[in-house]
A and B are shown apart, each in its own frame.
Chain A
Amino acid sequence: GQNIDQPTEMTATEGAIVQINCTYQTSGFNGLFWYQQHAGEAPTFLSYNVLDGLEEKGRFSSFLSRSKGYSYLLLKELQMKDSASYLCAVTEQAGTALIFGKGTTLSVSS
């Protein structure tokens, strides 16, 4: 079976750091993706991990541990515009669709 878990909601303040966790159990693994989705809009790509370790891209970083079936998305220097839903997704085989978690709604306040 497939199961991707992430917290439903998180809150943080401007300028802070927030970590959104994701655990997954899938029959195969060919990469983990993080997407950002604002209400009523399509998801936009944030990061990709296929090997263990940390990938850093500006204010956003993503970490993967394949042995633990665990990933996190780290957002630094939070801004109000970072208020959105963050989706963790896994692809089981190359070329196949992404399987999405339910998303974490992040609210950033001033």
Chain B
Amino acid sequence: GAVVSQHPSWVICKSGTSVKIECRSLDFQATTMFWYRQFPKQSLMLMATSNEGSKATYEQGVEKDKFLINHASLTLSTLTVTSAHPEDSSFYICSARARTATGELFFGEGSRLTVL
């Protein structure tokens, strides 16, 4: 089946620094990828839709200057958390939709960010 790989799985950083998370579709091309955030014991909240070759579309309440998304190729999207603060600590998960009959999303392994 389709595989989405995310890196790093865990990252700890100091407050004020920036962290980049990569999301790759390994065996298919993804013109669109989706970035979700999940706080403990809560559901996945859509942050933004990443479109290859164009600007990302952000959900209401998500700061586009803080969460920079780049989708430079059909297999790679990156999320950069800039000037991270402790409240940004969360589980970030990317996903992509392969050409399957059901159109389900395939998820990366997730990246757990802890900001000290």
Contacts and interface: CB of A to CB of B under 8 A. Distances in A.
B44 A41 contact: no
Interface in B92-116: 93, 95, 97, 102-110, 112
B54 interface: no
Contacts of A44: 107
Nearest to B97: A95
A95 B98 CA distance: 10
The binding surface of chain B is classed by DSSP as: strand
Contact of B44 (A45, A48, A87, A96): A87
Given A48-B102, A95-B97, A43 B46 contact: no
Nearest to B59: A97
Interface size on B, as a range, is 20 to 34
B102 A31 contact: yes
Contacts of A31: 102-103
Nearest to A49: B102
Interface of B: 6, 32, 34, 36, 42-46, 49, 91, 93, 95, 97, 102-110, 112
24 contacts: A40-B91, A40-B112, A41-B109, A42-B93, A42-B107, A42-B110, A43-B93, A43-B107, A44-B107, A45-B102, A45-B106, A48-B102, A48-B103, A87-B43, A87-B44, A95-B32, A95-B97, A97-B34, A97-B49, A98-B34, A98-B95, A98-B105, A99-B46, A102-B42
Given A40-B112, A42-B93, A100-B44, 13 more contacts: A33-B102, A33-B105, A40-B91, A42-B107, A42-B109, A43-B107, A45-B105, A97-B46, A98-B34, A98-B46, A100-B45, A103-B42, A103-B43
